[in-house]
Structure 1
């Protein structure tokens, strides 16, 4: 080595602080793990933006829900979905096992990390989960970010479920200033659309009339919202509204918007539940006095059919598609995203993974893997075969979520 060549570890502390001041979350941990000098020079990540991002409670001042006494407010929380894979040095070339693991990471204001289900806010199963992960021996790819509203009230020890899930969906708009966050936009449990920024006294309502929105997504130069029947509108940075598409013929009330980061295409995932189909049949046959359609699943809120649509921007309408090619869709509670198997290999393409809180462990089953997978509340729809059901029925697809891969445990 040239004696005049300086090592990174020998750089002045002041220069290191300047170089790495913007690193937060996983990047901050990875950089601090390089050597003792860097660890002492670079402070732990602090979620200063989110500690101070306070939003008013409740969203709707006319809400007639449970009364919450004392000073209350919402704190915006952020989580990030990562795709993990081993570094070349940690990859077992003799193994044919897949090389990726999908997780969601939420960082607290103190810098500690919580590992979550990549499709919801549920913590991953603790059994067999690695307690320590060596970030120097794995590669991390950021897939997307998810946001939620967390009620803060010192007088409440246990937050009611109603309040915990007050917002169906939250997104944060891009800010002109990279050091601050933009406005938050939320759909409340009644399907109404609101926006506010930190410091506002109240939320401002955007939706009008009888609109009932079910999903929300940042896309292109604005954000898009869709109703139960698929009618979709777009709002620009000034909150000016424009029609995107008309409704679709659908029995389902659950919709997910997802975009392709590679092509810019916008998709609509239509999930029809058993209770949706039964309700529609009853309305066509005389309501509750008409004949009762037999349940198609053990639970009324379980998915029985999934359809996928792609936006035709010229015609302003959704067009059904039967094939996702090499792509996979993840339709989650607080975020939805699409991954190409060309870009991230190792899992089955042409599938939709979705959340379904009503997939449970069968009584009498002593299969540990089945119990763990059902605890993830994940369903799978394979477009190629038409098969639809809980993740426990798709064991060949399950390793993307569980159990943690062998290379991850070896990196500890």
Structure 2
């Protein structure tokens, strides 16, 4: 089975090998900012940090929804759900700042990240301060952890992300950055392929 979801229309659809078309699963009247398929269920989080789980039957034709965590005190639309290598559900929050660029324009830039782990027993979010020898490639709906134990090409205990909010209008380029969880600093990285696509994600 293949599932497809979009944060723009808040829809999820599935496709089985025997099907001839996509089957809509559900549409929400609230706006989620990230959704993942975790432990056989869909989990979504909105800009207020409310985490919801959709419980489906085997045919994925009926479901019920429940709130797993009631959210945070602050509002942020840059939240990312990701499954850790050990099978835990994490939420990464990107915090922004307004900066004056070299061309005299104010732009939003990434200031730092906050990482939380869901306590499955009570729904609380616990702070995570280190990824160890893992590196996280951050993207809405499709973040991935990669071990760098045997690969020195990437910086361990870091988050690789695309700071497309700070897009340079004249050149049309996007900034590929890495956030080090040790010193809490953002550094730019240069990619050899010279990517120029808008709103790109890691693949």
TM-score, scaled relative to structure 1:
0.39
Structure 1 position 266, deviation (Å): 1.3
**Contact 1:252 1:273 (C-alpha < 8 Å) held by counterparts:** no
SS of the equivalent of 1:240 reads strand
Q: Report the equivalent of 1:266.
A: 89
Q: Deviations over 1:224-262 (max 9, x none)?
A: 1111122111223433323322212334211111112x3
> When you count strand as a share of all residues, which structure comes out higher?
2
Is 1:333–1:355's contact at 8 Å kept on the other side of the alignment?
no
Q: Distance in 2 between matches of 1:297 and 1:226?
A: 31
Shift of 1:200: 5.0
Residue 65 (structure 2) aligned to one of 230, 234, 241:
241
Q: How does 1:5-404 map to 2 (within 5 A)?
A: 175=1, 182=2, 184-189=3-8, 192-197=10-15, 199=20, 203-208=24-29, 211-238=30-57, 239-260=63-84, 262-274=85-97, 295-298=98-101, 299-333=106-140, 335-342=142-149, 344-360=151-167, 375=173, 377-391=175-189, 398=190, 401-402=191-192
Relative contact order (alpha carbons < 8 A, sep ≥ 6): 1 or 2 greater? 1
Contact 2:7-2:31 within 8 A present in 1 as well: no
For structure 2, list consecutive stretches of 5 or more residues without a partner in the other structure.
58-62, 194-203
Q: Alignment partner of 1:301: what SS?
A: strand
Question: 3-state DSSP class of the match of 1:302?
Answer: strand
Cα drift, residue 355 of structure 1: 1.6
Q: How many residues align?
A: 182
8 Å CA contact 2:35–2:141 kept in 1: the answer is: no
Distance 1:195 1:360, change over 3 A: closer
* Shift, 1:268, TM fit: 0.8
Partner of 1:349, secondary structure, is coil
RMSD: 3.1
Name the larger-Rg structure: 1
Task: Provide the secondary structure at the position in 2 that maps to 1:236.
Answer: strand
Q: For 1:322 and 1:328, how far apart are their aligned partners in 2?
A: 13
Shift of 1:357: 1.4
Cα distance between partner residues in 2 of 1:186 and 1:265? 22
Structure 1's unaligned 5+ residue stretches are: 1-174, 176-181, 275-294, 364-370, 392-397, 404-412
State the alpha-carbon separation in 1 of the partners of residues 141 and 23 from structure 2. 23
Q: Is the 8 A contact 1:359 1:390 kept in 2?
A: no
Distance 1:224 1:343 in 2: 32
Structure having the higher helix fraction is 1
Q: CA contact under 8 A between 2:163 and 2:175: conserved in structure 1?
A: yes
- Say whether the 8 Å CA contact 1:216–1:257 is kept in structure 2: yes
Task: Compute the displacement of 1:216 (Å).
Answer: 1.2
> Runs ≥4 in structure 1, deviation > 6 angstroms?
none
Give the Cα separation in 2 of the matches to 1:386 and 1:221.
34
Aligned partners of 1:360 and 1:188: how far apart in 2? Answer: 21
**Distance of aligned partners of 1:334 and 1:248 in 2 relative to their CA distance in 1, 3 Å threshold:** closer
Change in Cα spacing, 1:236 to 1:185, as seen in structure 2 (3 Å) is farther
How big is the shift at 1:345?
A: 4.4
